Amino acid sequence: LLDPCARAISGWDVYDRGLATGDHDNSAHCLKAVVTERDHFDFNSHPRPRHDWRETVIYELHPGGFSRDLSSPASPEHRGTFLGLIDALPYLQSLGITAIELLPSMAFDPADAPDGRQNYWGYSPLSWFAPHHGYVCGDEPLAGRQQLRQLVAACHDHGLEVFVDVVYNHTTEGSSQGPCLSWRGFADRLYYHQSADGIYQDVSGCGNSIAANHPLAVQLIIESMRCWALELGIDGFRFDLGAALTRGAGLTPLDQPPLFEAMESDPELADIKLVGEPWDCGGLYRLADFPAQRVGTWNGRFRDDLRRFWKGDDNTSWAMAQRLIASPDLYGGEPAAAGKSIHFVTAHDGFTLNDLVSYNGKHNLANGEDNRDGDSHNNSWNHGVEGPSTDPAIKTLRQRQMRNMLCTLLLSAG
């Protein structure tokens, strides 16, 4: 079993996910924790930028994919890694953003995917402490901590904060038929939501759901956040399926979830920015009433109403006006306070901005999932042709519509 608090991991060259089920000995093919120092990030040399929420513009990116393209300024040996992002910082700074948000950067299992495929996105954590080895140059287990610190230091030197997308709502161990890698082997009934007869309760859509408000899970998640904030220098966290983290025993939604109470009362996390998805896969949606004082929530209503407005749907002007002034209709008649309503048009889920103006429906066929994956409710418009077009008028209109949506996003109060 892998230590849930492991800050570095070895054994990727011999690891076999398929051997982590059943009662046979897989010690020759398992991952092992590496003992590390817990020294803090050098904030004296690279202080946090501490941008006010009213000035914050977040740029979401994939730590591996962003610098992998040949057009990237990263040196060939650094492409697809944390270090590869450093070479792109002048470009990112020139955009006027104040923060980058790294998609999941904690260690995940590339083999947690359908047969013959690789897990690219990382929403299947294997560790909440160790940086993902696939974004690291070289095979040295401790290099992940060192190179992520280098990236954060360079970002701070460029005036950029660094957020990380964290998946505390489930793990790579999957359903009860999945592999036994870490949490399951230590305390299965404590870490995972289960019914009285031991049936897994799943609001993550991934086979299991962490009982995030059990004292054991609260302690582990808070320690993970301290590790990334104090040891690695991270400035903010974005909680994937944040609403799932507000559920208690029996999946009951809590108005005072112990996890967020512990988070917001921890003096070592007092200056860390917190953002959450206000929904989960069990139907819970807590946008304006998310039960945490400091957590800003992704405003899905802003995304949907903006898309419908620029698509030309009927009866969308009033809703768009509300979104532009921080959604007072959703926040008790008053505009949302700075940092409470996080506005976006597109993100890693679903369509890109170009997809939004190029397709009426999704076409996720190349990954072998038969177009089942991804949301079918995209409020998109192809402007007359499904997919790429050589028509100058259509290309011009699509470009204009993308600028319209981006401009609306940047001018909105949120």
197 is a domain residue: yes
pTM for the whole structure: 0.96
| Helical (H) or strand (E) element with 304 | helix 300-311
337 is a domain residue: no
Q: CA–CA separation, 298 vs 303, rounded Å?
A: 9
Contacts 24+ apart (CB under 8 A), 390-397: 397/357
Both structure tokens of 63 = 């730590």
What is the structure's pLDDT at 71?
Answer: 87
Q: How confident is the model at residue 35 (pLDDT cuts 50, 70, 90)?
A: very high
pLDDT > 90 in the chain, percent: 93
Is residue 368's pLDDT more than 80? Answer: no
pLDDT digits (tens, 9 = 90+) for 56-87: 999 999 999 999 988 889 999 999 999 999 99
Catalytic residue among 112, 277, 280, 305: 277
Dihedral class, residue 238 (left if φ above 0, else alpha if ψ from -120 to 50, else beta): beta
Residue burial 319-341, b: 16+ Cβ < 10 Å; e: rest: bbebbbebbeebbeeebbeebbb
- 240 classed as catalytic: yes
246 is a domain residue: yes
244 is a domain residue: yes
Q: How confident is the model at residue 375 (pLDDT cuts 50, 70, 90)?
A: confident
Is residue 131's pLDDT more than 80? Answer: yes
State which residues form the domain around 153: 9-298
Domain with residue 225: its CATH number is 3.20.20.80
32 is a domain residue: yes
381 is a domain residue: no
143 is a domain residue: yes
- 264 classed as catalytic: no
Catalytic residue among 109, 202, 240, 305: 240
Question: What is the tally of structural domains in the chain?
Answer: 1
What is the structure's pLDDT at 2?
Answer: 98
309 is a domain residue: no
- Choose among 273, 247, 241: nearest CA to 259: 247
> Mean per-residue pLDDT for 382-404?
98
> Mean per-residue pLDDT for 213-233?
99
What is the structure's pLDDT at 269?
Answer: 98
